Structure 1
């Protein structure tokens, strides 16, 4: 086992026994049998070490996410993803709390990959016409609710004794961002979201099935335009003001 693995193994073991989901670099160095300069050379600082510990522990969860076969129902995949996320949090409470700790000045790679995997499912929902908001916004809404519920259950279990709480919150959040597959049962769309949603849906379909009539450059340009339209900004909102050019003295 090389020095990096020794340090990660020691930090993981110490983390498992920590009631506050934290470890000191001194304790890690002593447990790993290495000097502080070695730790800082490999990980930069304590935040870098903790991020590496999180990535190592979260890899088990990400392996199952990467290997998951998409079903014919992307909304059902969202439900399973939510439940798997909570299950991982409950089975690995120390890693999970550390993952979202303010101690980490930069998010671990694992959080970014989990975010991207969720977004890919929501792209499928958009391509199927099952989203009521653009995929990027839906990703933020679902991830923040899923993480918030998981942390709440972990840190304040006495306040969340109902075992059905997470499922009810899941259904409420997914119900707010998705619509039924049957158009006759779909709710009336928000008029302000009509153009953004049409653009987001078309962009997702283009990414899923590249049109043979377009060159790669044409497809990229069209996607760029659609992505600009597929925001959650209300129709007619010009967006942030553009700074006026500073007049120059022509004399």
Structure 2
């Protein structure tokens, strides 16, 4: 998915988003000004302010639209696919998107106050689903929450580091090494026939807890809290 695919359309909002995405891709954040966007989209500055509030609101909208477009290209894993290989594929897709759209990716990773954009939330949900498949297969050695946080932090950090490198000297093997180091930290080579201790048992039970229909929602919430405390306790 290229950033040029963002928000193509004929309405003023779509034209503004497409123009902003193009300026961002060609010249980075510094190239985006309300004057440049207005000229490229054929609108006046008041229209931009009315639709997006300010420049930051416009940039946030471009980031959300770009990531949403990226998510539409992602497909779910095959039912019989190895869950760890599926996590590898997700890592590689994330990296490819960042390298193909560096300015947009850096904008998306920018810390900002308030709630996460819906597209970013959707991305975390996809990652969480991948990690849960590993847990359900009995191959996760840490809590789902910790695994998601580690994969997200390491994957984003690796992508940003590679974006910062000159393309001619960029070493893609760094991503492979980082990916495999993370996978080795959070997974086991094969499912254990029987839990070898409370942590393994807690991870396995945590993965299938949503299926425990005999419990009420508050009871499941309390059980989830207990299991997370067991899995996150110092070894």
Give the TM-score band, short-chain normalised.
0.7 to 0.9
Matches within 5 A, 1:45-194: 45-102=54-111, 104-106=112-114, 107-157=116-166, 161-183=170-192, 194=198
Q: Relative to structure 1, is the Cα distance of residues 70 and 157 closer, same or farther in structure 2, using a 3 angstrom cutoff?
A: farther
Matches within 5 A, 1:30-49: 30-49=39-58
Shift of 1:219: 4.2
If you compute each CA radius of gyration, which structure gives the higher value, 1 or 2? 1
Asked if 1:220 is matched to 2:217, the reply is: yes
CA distance in 2, matches of 1:65, 1:137: 24
Helix, strand or coil for the counterpart of 2:81? coil
Asked if 1:202 is matched to 2:199, the reply is: no
Q: Relative to structure 1, is the Cα distance of residues 130 and 162 closer, same or farther in structure 2, using a 3 angstrom cutoff?
A: same
Contact 2:67 2:119 in 1 (8 A): yes
Task: Report Cα offsets for 1:57-82 as digits up to 9, x if no partner.
Answer: 22332113354445432111101100
Structure 1 residue aligned with 2:6? none
Shift of 1:143: 0.6
CA distance in 2, matches of 1:178, 1:157: 33
Q: Relative to structure 1, is the Cα distance of residues 43 and 203 closer, same or farther in structure 2, using a 3 angstrom cutoff?
A: same
Helix, strand or coil for the counterpart of 1:147? helix
The two structures have a TM-score, normalised by structure 1, of 0.77
Asked if 1:234 is matched to 2:230, the reply is: no
Any gaps of 5 or more consecutive residues in structure 2?
Answer: 1-9
Contact 1:132 1:178 in 2 (8 A): yes
Give structure 1 regions of 4+ aligned residues with deviation exceeding 6 angstroms: none
Contact 2:138 2:191 in 1 (8 A): no
Q: Relative to structure 1, is the Cα distance of residues 3 and 161 closer, same or farther in structure 2, using a 3 angstrom cutoff?
A: closer
Contact 2:63 2:104 in 1 (8 A): yes
Shift of 1:46: 1.9
Select which of 12, 16, 23 maps to 1:7.
16
Shift of 1:234: 2.4
Contact 1:71 1:77 in 2 (8 A): no
The two structures have a TM-score, normalised by structure 2, of 0.82
**RMSD over aligned Cα atoms:** 2.7
Contact 1:97 1:151 in 2 (8 A): yes
Structure 2 residue aligned with 1:243? none
